[in-house]
Structure 1
């Protein structure tokens, strides 16, 4: 309570709170969930003191519902991670306790925010942003020691922060009381008791309005020369008074964006102003401003903003369900600003048509302008009719400019328009994407291509380059993730998508490394490697350099090969093992540790991280199983009439093989295990992503069908390559050649048998795809949409399943895997068992290989 006299200091504000409560108990005029939570928590704290039970009860019911659905990670309100925990704490003192699913996440964010908080920060002479949210530091700051931080009676021109000071200081401050009364009287409420989150903000409003209109083509004369001159004098005076750095209002803490806007405004008004002070300030603060460490992400972010603006435009031409003019204006201005990017040139026609459609909608909604919309965000959302009108005028008048870029900017174009169009045409031919507008796929390909160079750099961080590597799959990985993310509309964050691009690349590299290097190890080394993999996956911290850490094998097993013909060092003992095995164990251990120690999965639950290690073990061991299956298969004789060589006495039937070795070999399960861990980033504090036994089982079933489906489509696409390399393929199993389906006779020639086998395999793959669709839909229905986290999880699953489906379709359209060229003796052996059509393909491949 205030320390002046026993009466309400601002009774009109209390009356305003009573009048603003909605029928369902909330204080949320903006219909924004975050606003509703913050405003209702605050108002509930107010009405508990007079004890108004009906109002309190309604507010509690509202909060219990909203907090259950609150997605803390999606909140962008200023200092919410400080303000909400403080309000919850203050309500607990009134015996009002709220529990909700993401409360631990909120408290973790609060702890992170306050980890380096030191009250002396605000006791000194330096201004600090903490001053804008002092209400969050009640009980943590001695308010008697911060009086010198006032600006015209306020703290950072924040009515709530100033009120916290009045409530908590030992002596009443008349100057601060007068500031709040001015905010009540001259703020947006004009005396009704309400106050804005910031008052005043005249520098911000002036620079936003004038710079926006001038950039949109308005002239000084068209804006009333005398008024514009007064504005220029006002800004020049502030620049002088504040030594070249401005905030959102006079004498407040300087900000880069407000200073930049003022520089632009004065420059457009013919009063060039040096940005030197701003640049010096930026350099001094660079270590504290994390956003300035990501300059290499500027182009990808801009293209993503461009694409998402295009993707979210409605068929009516607008971007708002309620056709809000201000929202449409921001979208139009965004397209106008980004249309000239060199990467966006292939999209010029689409961008211009989107701008034209948006302007038509904006013109039709003339009567809706002037009404402020809650679109701007501070501590709560707010609206400004002045800003809304300004941006609508700018969107209607701004010209379509095409910038001339410097060579430095032009060099950021890493994929030509021709290549982007060609790649988008490939994706558009895939059946599931043939009905999607071509520009959506092209825009996604352009966006995806911006990750390619970064992906190529990371390609050699673990796995060495193999002689036969073409790495053609690298061109597709970024595009696949972006296409599915954009075309399904889930639009998950780019950091998650990037991480999965890296993991998918590693999946391909593991496959290549196993086929081209590990497959050349001798039998004894293979057995040793299996034991090393088990040890590593169960304990990634194991020291493989110690002889006791490496398991020993039976000395009677076959001696390992020298490794010379594969580019490996000669066999020399190292902890009792050959150099080839030691080299392989180094690479595999680096891979396993990189997976389990990936920074953005460290928040995952113990169970989810253990699942990742288990799937890693299965994944790597399945490759060795495949190597052994291939070795066994190569040693068999083939009937001269068989176009497709049949596997004799396989370890299991095709169904069993496709659901174990073959499915595990695809990396689907290990990728999903990593993806599950990755979803924990900023979304949980130790809990399993799929937290019920039933949901875990259903996810496992979905993954099983995905893995089998992917492998069957892969086998279908790689029949020729597997034949050339003598790898065991699905169609080599006896089931594909029993009875009339495959027996070669004069009436049933070999080619017919091969076609039937391929069609049978394709039928199996389609069956598994149907199972995927059923499993996915059932899982989605089970998860429901009762909470924000459930919706996000559904979106995440939609993205993952969509990527796996697209890759399955791509396998049919194009075999992406690097060919593993076998040892020379294997090549000569296989020549005698290939049909003529395959012999010619292999001959051309060997000639090309020898010429490299």
Structure 2
């Protein structure tokens, strides 16, 4: 598919022997870059048409197909209005029958293929004046196109995640029309039910009769309503010949209306002649994009290291005037084109004008688009946009009176942090297919936020937790860009996306968090720049989304110039962020890093990579410390200081970065907190709960009562009287222990995501949690009998064999199994949206096998590292079991026992590896052709969990991590 994509790009970029405008390869000096930037500004301004505006967006098959279907009657003779569009479709069909297939989105290929097949069907039924193409040629093309469409629908996985405008309305309408034209039964495909539900929900938000009144977003996708509305009643919505700047919607208007509209025809003719197709029949998917291009070009160049003095020109002033006039004429809010107001283009225009010292008040933008907890892109929308809110934030941070907009700055910062916190793998947005675009904006915005915090202007606006999350977000954004750079210096060989990455990394050079890795940072920038300069010709990067996907030529050129210019500037002193002290690792963490470097997992890692994970994990430590005594009191309890708190975040962060899993911070933090509770529970049960309940059977009953009574408490309390830190001052008693255990059980079993997970996953968690708590009571009994033995290091009264014990009480005593079940609940809630994480009986069995073997390993290696402490404290350890005492009648030393335990643990490792392989294979087989990113993600997260367990196992071998009982 990728090779076909490159061939398609070659076709699209080399029309009639011409190469589209782009930054010349020969640019070498700063003067060359300045000249090229001024040239871009001047060419963009001169391309602006006084009536139709400006547009350098690439051609899109989807809109071309709709324009190709327009018929007109002149002197009682019907003819195809734009035969060149039909010929364009013939030229761009791929060998497999498809149109527009992209590696970044399945939806675009489906839309392009379906619309192109419909256009060919229209032409083969009524060739009219097009006589040079035989029906015998078109027929096989249609057959191949339909076959390709069916194949694409069969494996369509991104329907729910799609960014494309109106897809839930357009695809059902297209398929329905194709069924009628082909005389076939309905198209059947795995996600059809999901699409139909999306269609019903979308249509439920609209009253189609209202389309005749005030303008609405439906006008952008009128092709979805052919045969459903009266197109003759829509003529008043035309603006300079277009329906909301959409060629396909305008084409649908001409097809559906009974009265011909010359203005709409003239608009389309202008696009055919002057759009990116340059007369060859290709149609831009959006036209015009005047305000989008003016604001993006100006802001990108000026944020990218060019100064006003360097690039001041007629072009710059002309584009600025267009924006200023538009804001004035449209009452303070504009869109990508006239009469399409949105917060995105408004904020970017305001930013651009601020950067050229012509600030315009954002007050109207705030009045129109500010919502309760974020800014909406339009008046109403299905879901919010991260990039829209980042554009608002960047705009507000550049206002001359920043303090006036503190509430909005706080709101957009909080929204961005929440979005980043909850994003699994790559951050996504609805207007750009690349995760690098919102990532770049986040780095730009949060660098400025940190700068203003350092200067004291925003310091009082954010609490410690939010400052931590701001620092964490920017650090992760930059580190993940570095970690995902390809060997050739690019990011997936995409030109514009490589520019996004370079611009983000250049910003990071200002931030003190990256001082330790400045050489690596600069190396990534240099290699990215080298790749950009080596591009043989202008290759398209279809990263912007509308109904399908497109590139904006002038904007792409601006990004390339900005990337080259910013990278060429002198490296500044990295001082930004110095007030965020959480970026400095604790001394405890530094000590543990010496141990981590000795582990098999991390010994191969470069020093900068390990150091980066250390710094990233340090942002989590204050967040974890804030919840340290939320469940368990620690004052006046005879246990050592909980130094493990400093290393817990690293175990998850380090493995997350090492494996490139990039699980969400939401999942990472929940697992960190659960790890903390695992240690604390072990300590509490041994130091407090056990002694309070002289009869351990009563403790077991109390645990069952607590677990059975767990439920969501809408009042937010658990029926206890709390002081400032949530604990009572009285000496520990049975009621206090029950209250404490209730808090713990509620924090696990009534966690928000657990309650949103499948009932099956919740049941598994409840079983494993009960086993975990019961195992502590059994361990207390075992320890009591062991401590009463007269002497010896062999447990003389076990009630089970070692195999039985480690597969039940011994394994359940460590927190691994219930933590694994908890993780599966989080996955169930967030990946399949509340459905079972592992739906088939086979998957359930295999994930249980994975859980069991990981748990057994955890117990074994824990015991391997803690034998000295357990001997002193008289805690039953694996190596205390009689099986380890003798071999062939010979008494075994500690080293002998460790060797045997290590052999058993290695066997468990092999079982775990085979179970993981079987689970991955089964998950793939069960999903079949419809296997999607969520199926891949769940296996990645399971593997990450196992890797973290493996790291703990390796650390236990080197050093016992638990706090000692005093």
C-alpha contact 2:499 2:560 (8 A) present in aligned 1: yes
> Does the 8 Å CA contact 2:300/2:558 hold for their aligned counterparts?
yes
1:478 pairs, out of 643, 649, 673, with: 649
Matched residues in 2 for 1:769 and 1:522: separation?
A: 37
> Hey, what's the Cα distance between the residues in 2 that align with 1:523 and 1:56?
81
Are 1:66 and 2:152 counterparts? yes
The answer for the alignment partner of 1:188 in structure 2 is 276
Aligned-partner SS, 2:601? helix
Match of 1:382 among 550, 559, 573: 550
Q: In the superposition, relative to structure 1, how do residues 242 and 458 fare at CA in structure 2: closer, same or farther (>3 Å)? A: farther
Which residue in the other structure is 1:38 paired with?
Answer: 111
Whole-angstrom CA distance in 2 between matches of 1:198 and 1:444:
43
Give the match for residue 503 of structure 1: 674
Does the C-alpha gap of structure 1 residues 688 and 98 become closer, same or farther in structure 2, counting only changes over 3 Å? farther
Cα pair distance change 1:777/1:8, threshold 3 Å: same
- 2:832 maps to what in 1? 684
Using CA pairs below 8 Å that are at least 6 residues apart, which structure has the higher relative contact order? 2
Give 5+ residue unaligned stretches, structure 2. 1-68, 126-137, 377-383, 387-411, 418-465, 716-726
1:705 matches 2:853: yes
Q: Is the aligned partner of 1:607 residue 2:747?
A: no
Q: Which residue pairs with 1:559 in the alignment?
A: none
Q: Distance in 1 between matches of 2:222 and 2:640?
A: 60
Out of 662, 667, 678, which is 1:491 matched to? 662
Aligned to 1:240: 328
2:479 is the alignment partner of 1:311: no
* CA distances 1:651-672 after superposition (whole Å, capped 9, x unpaired): 1122221111111122322222
1:761 maps to what in 2?
Answer: 901
**Distance in 1, Cα, partners of 2:889 & 2:506:** 61
Bigger Cα displacement from structure 2, 423-432 vs 192-201: 423-432
Q: Establish whether residue 595 from structure 1 lines up as the match of residue 748 from structure 2.
A: yes
Q: Displacement of 1:348 after TM fit?
A: 1.8
Q: What residue number does 1:427 align with?
A: 596
**1:259 aligned to which of 327, 346, 364:** 346
Cα distance in 2 between the residues matched to 1:99 and 1:87 = 14
Shift of 1:237: 1.8
The RMSD of aligned alpha carbons is 3.7
**Matched ranges for 1:315-394 at <5 A:** 315-320=487-492, 323-365=493-535, 367-368=536-537, 370-394=538-562
| CA displacement at 1:759 relative to structure 2 | 3.2
CA distance in 2, matches of 1:149, 1:18: 33
TM superposition shift of 1:103? 4.6
TM-score (norm 2): 0.72
**Cα–Cα, structure 1 residues 592 and 177, in superposed 2: closer, same or farther, change >3 Å?**
farther
Cα distance change on mapping 1:57 and 1:684 into 2, 3 Å: farther
Matched position secondary structure for 2:800: coil
Asked if 1:197 corresponds to 2:269, the answer is no
How far apart are residue 396 of structure 1 and its match? 1.8
Runs of at least 5 residues in structure 1 that lack an aligned partner in the other structure: 546-565, 571-578, 640-644, 744-751, 822-845, 847-852
The corresponding residue for 1:554 is none
Match runs of 1:688-767 below 5 Å: 688-739=836-887, 743=891, 753-767=893-907
Report if aligned partners of 2:861, 2:953 keep a CA contact under 8 Å in 1. yes
CA separation of 1:401/1:112 partners in 2, compared to 1, >3 Å: closer, same or farther? farther
- Tell me which of 647, 650, 657 is aligned to 2:798: 650
Tell me which residue corresponds to 1:633: 786
Question: CA, structure 1 residues 422+731, in 2 after alignment: closer, same or farther (shift >3 Å)?
Answer: closer
Tell me: CA distance 1:316–1:229, structure 2 relative to 1, closer, same or farther (3 Å): same
In the superposition, relative to structure 1, how do residues 8 and 532 fare at CA in structure 2: closer, same or farther (>3 Å)?
Answer: farther
Deviation at 1:434, TM superposition (A): 0.9
Query: How much does 1:713 deviate?
Result: 0.7
Call closer, same or farther: CA 1:704–1:317 in 2, change over 3 Å: same
Counterpart Cα distance in 2 of 1:541 and 1:18: 63
Residues 603 and 684 in structure 1, CA contact (< 8 A), matched pair in contact too: no
1:627-654: per-residue Cα shift (whole Å, max 9, x none)?
2222222222214xxxxx3211211122
Matched with 1:616 is 769
1:576 aligned partner = none
2:660 is paired with a residue of what secondary structure? Answer: coil
Question: Match for 2:821 among 664, 673, 683?
Answer: 673
Number of residue equivalences: 771
Shift of 1:193: 3.7
Residue of structure 1 in register with 2:684 after alignment = 513
CA drift at 1:711: 0.8
Q: Secondary structure at the match of 2:944?
A: helix
Distance change in 2, residues 1:537/1:418 (3 Å):
closer
Provide, for residues 800-829 of structure 1, a one-character-per-residue CA deviation record: whole Å limited to 9, x for no partner.
22121112112223333344x4xxxxxxxx
Separation in structure 2 between the aligned mates of residue 98 and residue 584 of structure 1, nearest angstrom? 61
Provide the rounded CA distance (Å) in 2 between the counterparts of 1:504 and 1:167. Answer: 63
Q: Partners in 2 of 1:492 and 1:716 — Cα distance?
A: 30
Q: Distance in 2 between matches of 1:404 and 1:287?
A: 31
Note the C-alpha offset of 1:112. Answer: 6.1
The answer to whether the aligner puts 1:23 opposite 2:98 as a matched pair is no
Cα distance between partner residues in 2 of 1:509 and 1:36: 53
TM-score under structure 1 length normalisation: 0.80
